[in-house]
Amino acid sequence: MAVLELFPDAKLGVGPAIEEGFYYDFLLPRALAPEDLAELEKRMRAIIAKDLPFTHEKVSPKTAQTFFEKKDQPFKLELIDDFVREGATELGLEKTGEVFTDLCRGGHVESTKDIGVVKLLSIAGAYWRGDEKREQLERIYGATFATQEELDAFLKQREEAEKRDHRKLGVELDLFTFSDLVGPGLPLFTPRGTVIREELENFVQSLQVPMGYQRVRIPHITKKALYETSGHWQKFKDELFKITSREGHEFAVKPMNCPHHTQIYASRKRSYRELPLRFSEVTAVYRDEQTGELSGLSRVRMITQDDAHVFCRMNQVEEEAMKVWDIVDGFYAPFKMPLAVRFSRHDPDHFEKYLGTPAIWKEAEDQMRRIIEKRGATDVIDGAGEAAMYGPKIDFIASDAIGRAWQLATIQLDFNLPERFNLTCVNEEGKEERIVMIHRAISGAVERFMAILIEHYAGKFPTWLSPVQVSVLTIADEYIPYAREVVDALATNGIRVELNDQNETLGKKLRDAKLGKAPYVLVIGKKESEAKTVAVNSRDQGDKGSVQLDDFIRMIKEEIKNRA
Residues 542 and 398 reside in one and the same domain: no
Residues 448 and 470 reside in one and the same domain: no
Please indicate, yes or no, if residue 142 is contained in any of the structural domains. yes
What are the DSSP E strand ranges found in 230-289? Answer: 242-244, 250-253, 277-286
For 72-129, the pLDDT digits (tens) are: 999 999 999 999 998 999 999 999 988 899 999 888 899 999 999 999 999 999 889 8
Would you say how long the chain is, in residues? Answer: 564
The chain-wide mean pLDDT, for the chain, equals: 93
309 is catalytic: yes
**What gap in Å lies between CA 23 and CA 3, rounded to an integer?**
13
Contact criterion met (CB below 8 Å) for 435 and 312: yes
246 is catalytic: no
The residue segments making up the domain with residue 535 are: 463-561
Please indicate, yes or no, if residue 84 is contained in any of the structural domains. yes
Residues 126 and 199 reside in one and the same domain: no
Which residues are 53's β-sheet partners?
Answer: 111
- pLDDT given for residue 364 in this prediction: 87
- pLDDT given for residue 291 in this prediction: 77
Residues 296 and 268 reside in one and the same domain: yes
User: Residue type for 50, please?
Assistant: K
Kindly state the helix (H) or strand (E) to which residue 162 belongs, with its residue range.
Answer: helix 148-163
Residues 21 and 120 reside in one and the same domain: yes
Tally the C-alpha atoms within 13 A of residue 81's C-alpha that lie toward its C-beta: 7
Domain boundary among 408, 437, 456: 456
Residues 157 and 198 reside in one and the same domain: no
Q: Which parts of the chain have pLDDT scores under 50? A: none
- pLDDT given for residue 186 in this prediction: 95
Please indicate, yes or no, if residue 227 is contained in any of the structural domains. no
Please indicate, yes or no, if residue 404 is contained in any of the structural domains. yes
Please indicate, yes or no, if residue 170 is contained in any of the structural domains. no
Q: What is the pTM of this model?
A: 0.84
Residues 444 and 486 reside in one and the same domain: no
Write down the catalytic residue from 129, 309, 323, 440.
Answer: 309
- Cα distances from 209 to residues 204, 276, 448, in angstroms, run 8, 14, 24
Contact criterion met (CB below 8 Å) for 394 and 411: yes
Angle between the N-to-C axes of helices 317-332 and 358-375, in degrees from 0 to 180, rounded to the nearest 10: 50
- pLDDT given for residue 427 in this prediction: 96
Residues 477 and 430 reside in one and the same domain: no
Write down the catalytic residue from 119, 166, 439, 509.
Answer: 439
In the chain, the number of structural domains is 3
180 is catalytic: no
For 317-374, the pLDDT digits (tens) are: 999 999 999 999 999 999 999 999 999 999 888 888 887 888 888 888 999 999 999 9
Domain boundary among 399, 428, 456: 456
551 is catalytic: no
Please indicate, yes or no, if residue 290 is contained in any of the structural domains. yes
Write down the catalytic residue from 306, 307, 395, 414.
Answer: 307
| CATH number for position 123 | 3.30.980.10
**What gap in Å lies between CA 4 and CA 136, rounded to an integer?**
18
Write down the catalytic residue from 258, 301, 420, 539.
Answer: 258
- pLDDT given for residue 98 in this prediction: 86
Residues 450 and 501 reside in one and the same domain: no
Write down the catalytic residue from 254, 260, 287, 342.
Answer: 287
104 is catalytic: no
Write down the catalytic residue from 393, 420, 440, 517.
Answer: 393
Residues 434 and 482 reside in one and the same domain: no
Residues 504 and 538 reside in one and the same domain: yes
Residues 431 and 359 reside in one and the same domain: yes
258 is catalytic: yes
Kindly state the helix (H) or strand (E) to which residue 166 belongs, with its residue range.
Answer: helix 166-172
Domain boundary among 439, 456, 473: 456
329 is catalytic: no
